[in-house]
Amino acid sequence: MNSLAAERRGKAVLTAVLSVICVIYVLPVVAVLINSFKLNTFVKTDTFALPTGEMWAGVDNFVKGMTFGNYPFWNSVKYSVVITILSTALILIGTSMAAWYIARVDSPFCKALYFLCVFSMVVPFQMVMFTLSNTADQLKLNTPWTIPVVYLGFGAGLAIFMFVGFVKSIPLEIEEAAAIDGCGPVRTFFLVVVPMLKPTMISVGILEIMWVWNDYLLPYLVLDLEKYRTITIHIQYLKGSYGTVDLGATMALILLAIIPVIIFYLTCQKHIIKGVAAGAVKG
């Protein structure tokens, strides 16, 4: 009885300690929030003070942030959304089809392609970045509407690896039954295989969304930066540029950039955590 009480007390202490760590954990985000309403001159000197009295900038930082750095912020939001959605959709459709074909046909060519995919997973982006940006430039893949092809090419490895692993665990009988009932390969894939692939689709989709949305170097090197910037590129431009940086306005933009991410996280939390665990165990 006594040890039970001790254990309960121990757990209460642990909960308290974890709560404190949790509060410390969210502090950086809170710091962004309070500094986005603070006048620039006070961000550096009074980083952890609430934006009260003379420090209060109101919504000025947000208004300024919209046209800050000679580039309209909303354009970068628009391009980030376009690139993320198109790339993820293209990767999901393209690699799931390819993975099914690889797993089912299993010819020497398929084996070689699969090996290349696994190989591409260990190649760091630095290895191909200069030549890739050059190739993409020549092929006019430097716009938000065409850059998904580059993402499909460089990101195919992990996605195909995960899909092939799953397809191999699906019993052939189901597809055979479909074939006997008169389904061709295309209909078999879209009507029979795709519904079964749904959990893996969600996992892969989440991993790709997180990668593409936050990616910096690939779009920085590939996109035509005069016209197209993603949110990440825009923020790096603001801070990386020489001369005085308006920290208050930058924090306002960072806040606007992370709010959708946090909403996305809180709504799809279960899938995100499951997807990450699946990707890590297999990758």
Partner 1 sequence: MNRKKITRGNTIRRSTRKWFPLFLGPVVCAFIIGFVWPFVQGIYLSFCQFKLIADAKPIGFGNYVRAFKDAAFAHAFWYTALFTVVSLVLINVLAFTVAYVLTQNIKGSNIFRTVFFMPNLIGGIVLGHIWSMIFDGILSKFSTSIVMDSKYGFWGLIILMCWQQIGYMMIIYIAGLQAVPEDMLEAARIDGATKSQALFKVTIPNVMPSITICMFLTLTNGFKLFDQNLALTNGQPIVMQEGGAAIKTTEMLALNIFTTYNNSSPNAHGTAQAKAVIFFILVAGLGLAQLAYTRKKEVQQ
41-60: which residues touch partner 1 (CB under 8 A)?
43-48
Options 57, 83, 86, 132; binder of partner 1; rule CB under 8 A: 132
Options 6, 9, 20, 22; binder of partner 1; rule CB under 8 A: 22
Options 2, 122, 140, 242; binder of partner 1; rule CB under 8 A: 122
Q: Does residue 113 bind partner 1 (CB under 8 A)?
A: yes
Options 51, 65, 94, 205; binder of partner 1; rule CB under 8 A: 94
Q: How far apart are CA 98 and CA 157, in angstroms?
A: 11
Closest separation between CB of residue 133 and partner 1, Å? 9
What residue type is 75 in one-letter code? N
Q: Does residue 181 bind partner 1 (CB under 8 A)?
A: no
The token duo for 24 is: 């410390």
The token duo for 158 is: 């992990």
Q: How far is CA 16 from CA 6, 21, 23, 185, in A?
A: 15, 9, 11, 57
CA nearest to 206, candidates 271, 281, 258, 157? 271
Residues 6 or more apart whose Cβ sits within 8 Å of residue 76:
229, 230, 231, 233, 234
Q: Does residue 20 bind partner 1 (CB under 8 A)?
A: no
Residues 6 or more apart whose Cβ sits within 8 Å of residue 166:
197, 200
Options 63, 66, 123, 177; binder of partner 1; rule CB under 8 A: 123
Print the binding letters for residues 185-224 with partner 1: x by CB under 8 A, - otherwise.
xx--x--------------------x--xxxxx-------
Output DSSP code: residue 49. S
Q: Does residue 66 bind partner 1 (CB under 8 A)?
A: no
Q: Does residue 74 bind partner 1 (CB under 8 A)?
A: no
Q: Does residue 77 bind partner 1 (CB under 8 A)?
A: no
Output DSSP code: residue 225. T
Options 64, 78, 104, 271; binder of partner 1; rule CB under 8 A: 104
Closest separation between CB of residue 53 and partner 1, Å? 18
Q: Are 97 and 152 in contact (CB under 8 A)?
A: no
By CB under 8 A, the residues from 138 to 157 that bind partner 1 are 139, 141, 149-157
Q: How far is CA 230 from CA 128, 216, 225, 271, 281, in A?
A: 21, 8, 9, 25, 30
Print the binding letters for residues 246-265 with partner 1: x by CB under 8 A, - otherwise.
-x--xx--x--xx--xx-xx
Q: How far apart are CA 257 and CA 60, in angstroms?
A: 17
CA nearest to 140, candidates 33, 222, 74, 205? 222
Options 60, 135, 143, 225; binder of partner 1; rule CB under 8 A: 135
Q: How far apart are CA 185 and CA 143, in angstroms?
A: 34
Closest separation between CB of residue 239 and partner 1, Å? 5
Closest separation between CB of residue 282 and partner 1, Å? 10
By CB under 8 A, the residues from 159 to 178 that bind partner 1 are 160, 172, 175-176
